[in-house]
Amino acid sequence: MVNGNCDAPKSSRRRRQAKSAFTLIEIMIVVLIIATLLNIALPAMVSARNTSQTNSCIGNLKTIQNAKQEWAIDTNSAGTVTPDWSEISPYVNTASDAQPVCPTSQLPYNLNAVDEAATCPTYPTTHALSSW
């Protein structure tokens, strides 16, 4: 101790500085852990997204089918008549008059005749009304 100064020796300062940095191995382990977690999480997110899009599509088909049924009752139309979107849009409670589209492909639905279920243009077998 010189003049009341307690400076640490230079070698101990270097050791403290060297210990405060991450090594390449530690950084690579963290990157590996993050990659593993992403590898586990991404398929679940994709599956959830597909399920959500399917459910949304089926919900749109139910809404369209109900609108077709109400339109047919109000206009005394036969079940073989296929309405235009402009005819059934008043029976659909949407913010705009735009025809709903499949969330997967952004294509408008096939309206079909009143006694047939509306169909999805992209996935007509999986995005379908099961009880129609």
Share of the chain above pLDDT 90, in %: 49
Q: What is the mean pLDDT of the chain?
A: 84
pLDDT, position 125: 84
As a whole number of angstroms, the distance between CA 127 and CA 132 comes to: 13
Query: Whole-prediction pTM value?
Result: 0.69
For the chain, the C-alpha Rg in angstroms (whole number) is 32
